[in-house]
Structure 1
Amino acid sequence: MDINNLQRENIKNLKPYSTARDEYKGQASVFLDANENSFGSPLAEQDGMTRSYNRYPDPLQLDLKDAISKIKGVPIENTFLGNGSDEAIDLLYRAFCEPGKDNVIILPPTYGMYEVSAGINNVEVRKVNLLPNFQLDLDGIAEAIDANTKLIFICSPNNPTGNSIVRTDIETVLANFKGLVVIDEAYINYAKQRTFIQELTEYPNLVILQTFSKAWGLAALRLGMAFAARPVIDIFNKVKPPYNINQATQDIALEALRNIAQVNDWIKVTVAEREQLSADLAELESVKKVYPSDANFILVEIENANAVYNELVEQGIIVRDRSKVTLCEGCLRITIGTPEENKTLVAALKNR
């Protein structure tokens, strides 16, 4: 498969912006090339460390990618870092989908930004609902594909349902679709199912999205990852803004990557709490069903979901009302909190 033929014609011919840092190679002590403030920044001394925020950051984030590579096992040239996974989603549309002509397939219920980004980029969305068991409708997907279908988004573990998508079904889509298959693994750290990263060398049309916002606890940083074949990553780097990941984010993320043991401990506690909270909620008379989850949240069907949501808000407990979402009628999506937060939630539901 020639990935370059999938990109928009104007992107094929695009000459990317060349930054001062792209043009300069080697060692230097005097930087007079990028019109920066040569005197430093008000934040130069912070926490006893010198931080040179007056200089533009590495546009390709090579040090951070190298650290990620050691954890993920993915070469730097197969890694893209975005301002949240949302940037990678948007770039997929801008690079590969001709506005007003091409289309993408999404699988409701699923993450809402796939459709929002399509709307922003004037790209048709074709919806193929998941089956009642929240798995892929392979026949429906096959029927929806035409010559102008460029992307299929598969969220696994899925948001808001929490379940992993059957691996062999995803492989069927990968093997038979001629466009890009985007697997959003934002919640993969909490799942029994392994990541699709190992399949990158097998499928040139595979794009994997991951994030620092969930298990890594860095949602405020807005740092997302995309892993794909080199031609896809090259196109991402061609289209992205020159300095899309700021230096502070790169510094903090590097620091966080040294604390992987803490992250793994949090994952274990979260998974244990997920099972405990699921069991506690299942015992409540008002709860009709607790769906199995591979994520750090659970989908719960409950009587009078909207009223329950509002009652919890009044007590300062915020969950997500998903009762108007396809296949999630009457459901709340509940993030796994700390043990104390989970107990507070259960007590509030018991005392209604």
Structure 2
Amino acid sequence: MDIGIRVNANESYKNISDDELKDIIEDVVKLKFNRYPDSECNELRELYGKVIGVNKENLIAGNGSDEMISLIISSQITRRKVVLTIDPDFSMYDFYTSLSDGVIKKYKTEDDGSFSVNKFINFGKKLSPKIIIFSNPNNPTGNVISNEDICYILESFKDTLVIVDEAYYEFYGQSMIQYIEKYKNLVVTRTLSKAWGLAALRVGFLIANKELIEELNKSKVPYNLNTFSQMVACNVLKHPEKILKSVEEIVYERERLYKSLKNIEEISNNKVIFYKSKANFIFGRSIMKDDIKKILDDKGILIRYFNDDSFRITVGSALENDLVVNIIEKVVLDVGEDNDKNIKN
């Protein structure tokens, strides 16, 4: 199968600009490849701190937000300690918990990803979790938990670290960073892999109060983020206004894609269902998932499939989105016609 379109990994379809690339090329020749990188990522933390409005002392930088999540879990979880998360959510929470021989418990949400904060808290209280972690917006549903509800969770579990994974924050616009000093048990993680379009670099951040940062730094490996990634990220972070424009375009395409997919839902008589999203992807469910997968695979189009009847489509360019919509629409119409013929026969 030739891969023509990749809308499966929630990457940005927009690459860095030619001007940014030119600056990066000019800076590459200045790098000292024989020297280890800045282990503290001082310039990177300084620049990102200015972008999000915190001091660099409130930040740890690392090899993607995955490393930041791993750092927290490995420093807190030992055998049989409980990590509480949501079902569905980011699969790497399970992976890192298992590496530390911890136990992961999941609160099952509704089909669209929504949930009752009171039921979640009651569920969690029975487990005495060492860590609570969830993505917001949720991956893969695109659903969100309000800041008010997250504060309620933080207040209900004062002795538990609560990690809010804000990998898709830029497409949503609401953050918990403003609460890092109020809640000493709050940790926020961010990445430059999604809205910033730097997935190839693997740059992520952990944001918390200074005391917690100092404690977590004791478990961080030295030289964890290479010099090249730090340099490119710093170049891009100097022009945050460009990201705002990219985010506006992606959000516009998200809403257009969602509207088109909802039209397909209507003609399918709910054989395929799509859900509203605050991230850069659309979550769907369908009894025809296998039919959809076969045709998309044949066309060299990758989307993300899960073990049940659900799947996730990353927002691509306008042309990519239109192609995906047209193919799914054709599958729905063709399968519908085949079913009608079978009924008549």
Tell me the TM-score normalised to structure 2 length. 0.82
Compare relative contact order (CA 8 Å, sep 6+) and give the higher one, 1 or 2: 2
Counterpart secondary structure, 2:272: strand
CA contact (8 A) 2:112 2:275 kept: no
Q: Which residue of 2 aligns with 1:186?
A: 167
Matched residue type, 2:75: A
Residue 271 of structure 1 pairs with residue 255 of structure 2: no
Residue 113 of structure 1 pairs with residue 92 of structure 2: yes
- Structure 2 portions without partners, runs of 5+: 1-24, 332-345
Matched residue type, 2:228: A
1:290-349 per-position Cα deviation (integer Å, ceiling 9, x unaligned): 20100000112234112211210110111111352xxxxx22200000011111111222
Matched residue type, 1:304: M
Matched residue type, 2:315: I
Residue 102 of structure 1 pairs with residue 81 of structure 2: yes
CA contact (8 A) 2:112 2:143 kept: no
- Tell me the percent identity: 33
Q: Cα distance, 1:262 vs. partner?
A: 2.2
- Structure 1 portions without partners, runs of 5+: 1-44, 325-329
Residue 262 of structure 1 pairs with residue 246 of structure 2: no
Matched residue type, 2:233: A
Residue 124 of structure 1 pairs with residue 108 of structure 2: no
Counterpart secondary structure, 2:140: coil
Distance 1:304 1:243, change over 3 A: same
Q: Cα distance, 1:261 vs. partner?
A: 2.4
CA contact (8 A) 1:82 1:245 kept: yes
Q: Which residue of 2 aligns with 1:59?
A: 39
CA distance in 2, matches of 1:102, 1:275: 41
Q: Cα distance, 1:263 vs. partner?
A: 1.5
Distance 1:147 1:304, change over 3 A: closer
CA contact (8 A) 1:309 1:332 kept: no
Residue 293 of structure 1 pairs with residue 273 of structure 2: no
CA contact (8 A) 1:110 1:155 kept: yes
Counterpart secondary structure, 1:107: strand
Higher helix share: 2
CA distance in 2, matches of 1:93, 1:48: 35
187, 197, 209: which one pairs with 2:177? 197
Matched residue type, 1:179: T
Q: Cα distance, 1:161 vs. partner?
A: 0.3
Matches within 5 A, 1:1-352: 49-97=29-77, 99-137=78-116, 138-145=118-125, 149-177=129-157, 178-192=159-173, 194-284=174-264, 285-286=267-268, 288-322=272-306, 324=308, 330-352=309-331
CA contact (8 A) 1:306 1:323 kept: no
- What is the alpha-carbon root mean square deviation over aligned residues? 1.9
